[in-house]
Amino acid sequence: MALISLKKILDLAAEHSAAIPAFNVNNLEQIQAICEAAQEMNAPIILQASSGARSYATIPFLKGLIQGALEKYPNLPICWHQDHGHTPEICFESIRAGFSSVMMDGSLLADGKTPSSFEHNVTVTSQVVSVAHALGVSVEGEIGCLGSLETGLAGDEDGTGAQNAHFSDLLTDPEMAYEFALKTHVDALAIAIGTSHGVSKFQKPPTEETLSLTRLSEIHQRLPNMHLVLHGASTVDRATVEKINQYGGAIPLTYGVPISALQKAITLGVRKINIDTDLRLAVTAAIREYFYQHPEVFDPRSYLKTTRIAMHKICCDRLIAFGAAGLAAHL
Ligand SMILES: [Zn+2]
């Protein structure tokens, strides 16, 4: 099967009141773990490359890994998505490289830090949509700036993170979301309701004040047919963080987004859920534990294999929890 567009996958998710996890990928073990899980669960999958992944692995190597996945899993529906592009040129480069979906994040200026105007966002996003749609490539836009409602700060991850965002930017305005969708014709829309990138999402378990499902519901009511996207949606599993720290790590104990909140968000129109931190934590915990228990081993394949197992479990769990398991049969 060739790569498929984000729109096709998310239309299917909407029909089945489900969401598809979008996992960030940088290397071989991640792609193997994610695709193996999706294959087992008979689920479509979104593999996305952040700007950090694009500079770490570079597009030629990422492209090779995606090609490998398509050959190894010929029946697996895969969307290859470019995460957070801050200029149309970045998105066009990805389209030329073969991505089947791009995110034009015009909520920030080209520096990936300064909040932009609504007009700027509409202009750059529309430019990308007109080119992408002509080529069968989907476009995700963003309205509002991701950030913590507790602190007013946006975590920086892979070069993306608002600086000096107004508090009002941290909760997407439903009317602006409606107007943005109308003017740009994006296929999916990332919204801000209190989730943030990185490991430090909440200082205490999130409440309606810090993770506004009410605002999400208002956006969904205004845009009932739009595929909404939740960024910064890792759960930050406490046991995994504790395991990292038990074996010499120093990760602060914070809180992520509970699975129950993600499942509620799915009933409110969220169709794509981005997950990066949870896989990073799983890899780190697996390697730290392995090094401690097997100090004599120096074959990287031995400990990298354990990371694949750890990531595979998370991927299966999310595919089941989001209702994505079994959906590949419909594509
Ligand atoms: Zn993001």
What does the pLDDT read at residue 160?
72
Tens of pLDDT, residue by residue over 25-58, are 999 999 999 999 999 999 999 999 999 999 999 9
Residue at 306 is within a domain: yes
Residue at 155 is within a domain: yes
Q: What is the dihedral angle through the alpha carbons of 157, 259, 104, 16, rounded to the nearest 10 degrees? A: 160
Residue at 48 is within a domain: yes
CA separation for the pair 280, 3 (Å, rounded) = 25
Q: How far is the CA of 265 from the centre of ligand 1 (A)?
A: 17
Tens of pLDDT, residue by residue over 100-142, are 999 999 999 999 989 999 999 999 999 999 999 999 999 999 9
Residue at 88 is within a domain: yes
Residue at 310 is within a domain: yes
Q: How far is the CA of 193 from the centre of ligand 1 (A)?
A: 13
Is the confidence at residue 199, as pLDDT, over 90?
Answer: no
CA separation for the pair 195, 220 (Å, rounded) = 17
Owning domain of residue 299: 6-330
CA separation for the pair 126, 120 (Å, rounded) = 10
Tens of pLDDT, residue by residue over 236-287, are 999 999 999 999 999 998 899 999 999 999 999 999 999 999 999 999 999 9
Residue at 1 is within a domain: no
Residue at 176 is within a domain: yes
Report the number of distinct structural domains present in the chain.
1
Whether 264 contacts 214, CB under 8 Å: no
Q: How far is the CA of 329 from the centre of ligand 1 (A)?
A: 29
CA separation for the pair 230, 129 (Å, rounded) = 20
Q: How far is the CA of 105 from the centre of ligand 1 (A)?
A: 9
3-class secondary structure per residue, the chain:
CCCCCHHHHHHHHHHCCCCEEEEECCCHHHHHHHHHHHHHHCCCEEEEECHHHHHHCCHHHHHHHHHHHHHHCCCCCEEEEEEEECCHHHHHHHHHHCCCEEEECCCECCCCCCECCHHHHHHHHHHHHHHHHHCCCEEEEEECCCCCCCCCCCCCECCECCCCCCHHHHCCCHHHHHHHHHHHCCCEEEECCCCCCCCCCECCCCCCCCCCHHHHHHHHHHCCCCEEEECCCCCCCHHHHHHHHHCCCCCCCCECCCHHHHHHHHHCCEEEEEECHHHHHHHHHHHHHHHHHCCCCCCHHHHHHHHHHHHHHHHHHHHHHCCCCCHHHHC
Q: How far is the CA of 161 from the centre of ligand 1 (A)?
A: 9
What does the pLDDT read at residue 159?
65
Q: How far is the CA of 301 from the centre of ligand 1 (A)?
A: 30
What does the pLDDT read at residue 245?
98
Q: What is the CATH number of the domain that holds 199?
A: 3.20.20.70
Q: How far is the CA of 9 from the centre of ligand 1 (A)?
A: 19
Q: How far is the CA of 292 from the centre of ligand 1 (A)?
A: 33
Q: What percent of the chain has a predicted confidence (pLDDT) above 90?
A: 86
Residue at 299 is within a domain: yes
Q: How far is the CA of 275 from the centre of ligand 1 (A)?
A: 9
Model pTM greater than 0.75?
yes
Q: How far is the CA of 197 from the centre of ligand 1 (A)?
A: 6
CA separation for the pair 264, 127 (Å, rounded) = 34
Average pLDDT, the chain: 95
Report the catalytic residues: 83
